Amino acid sequence: MTEPDPSSPAPIPAATTPASAPFEVRAHPGVLRLWYWQAIVVVALMSLPALLISGLAFGIYAMVAVVLVAVLLVRAWHRYQVRYVGRFRCRLLDDGLLLDRGVYWHSETFVPRERVQHTEVDQGPFARHFGIATLKVHTAGSKVGEIDIDGLAHDDAVALRDRLLDRQGRDAA
């Protein structure tokens, strides 16, 4: 699940890492539980009509099959989430934010510190219960104008935001 992928991006050469130690943030461990419940709720809601229709049309065995498929779907989704959290890495360097994530589609995104226009820390009611938050970083860019960093501990999100905005000075555009 979290075994090292041979083709995963190698770390950025040492020359580019700044003198001061990077501030590194991982996903909040509790996020897996939150996302697990989310997966269960979403799959349950989606399979409910299928369950009714199959029950009415084909009987009990079809219903059992639907439930089985739903369970498998939740498990597959959860395995994906576990791998996502395992790969997720967010580092704040001297010159900007480096975000490394993705299970099948890897991506390594760098936002220069001066390019950050504004940030948001979002927390839904369930996420609040788990102490989880999303940090949204806005740039003036057009393709990736908003970068959502999901699954952070609320404290980490706030700390990351504070450090990110710390040295902001010039107009970014």
Partner 1 sequence: MERRLHPLSWLFVLLTQIRPFVVPLLAFLVLGRGASWELWGALGAVGFAAHAFVYSIAFRYRIGDGELVVREGVLWRTVRHVPFSRAQNIVQNRNVLHRLFGVTELRLESAGGSKPEAVMNVITNEEAARLIAILRGEAVTTASVEEGEAADTRLALGPGELLRLGLITNRGWVLVGALMAVLWQSEELGEPWSRDGVRQGVRAGAKALSQITDGLSVRVQDPLSWLLFALAFVLLVKVLSIAMAFITFHRFRLMRVGDRIATEGGLFTLRLASARLEKIQRLIVSEGWWARRIGRRTLECEIATGRQDGDPDERARLRWLAPIAPPADIDALVRDVQSGAGLEQARWRPLHPQAWKRMARSTALVAVAPTLGLSISISPWILLAWPVAVLIGIVYARGWARFARYAIDGDTLGYRAGWITRRWTCARIADLQTISVSCSPLDRRAGMADLALDTAGAGTTAFALTIPYLPIEQAQHLAAELRLAVAARRACPPIQGRAST
Could you say whether residue 105 binds partner 1 (CB under 8 A)?
Answer: yes
Strand, helix or coil for residue 120: strand
CB closer to partner 1, 67 vs 147: 147
Residue among 3, 20, 142, 166 that touches partner 1 (CB under 8 A): 142
Whole-angstrom distance, CA of residue 128 vs CA of residue 149: 16
Q: How many residues bind partner 1 (CB under 8 A)?
A: 34
Could you say whether residue 110 binds partner 1 (CB under 8 A)?
Answer: yes
Could you say whether residue 134 binds partner 1 (CB under 8 A)?
Answer: no
CB of 102 to partner 1, least distance (A): 7
CB of 160 to partner 1, least distance (A): 16
CB closer to partner 1, 16 vs 61: 16
Could you say whether residue 80 binds partner 1 (CB under 8 A)?
Answer: no
Please give the single-letter amino acid code of residue 144: V
- Cβ burial of 81 (10 Å; 0-12, 13-18, 19+) is buried
In the structure encoding, which two tokens stand for residue 69, read together? 């498929």
In the structure encoding, which two tokens stand for residue 6, read together? 């041979």
Could you say whether residue 29 binds partner 1 (CB under 8 A)?
Answer: no
Whole-angstrom distance, CA of residue 83 vs CA of residue 102: 9
- According to DSSP, the β-strands at 89-92 and 23-25 are antiparallel
Sheet order of strands, 23-25 included: 23-25, 89-92, 96-101
Binding site for partner 1 (CB under 8 A): 7, 9-10, 12-13, 15-16, 94-96, 102, 104-112, 114-115, 117, 139-144, 147, 170-173
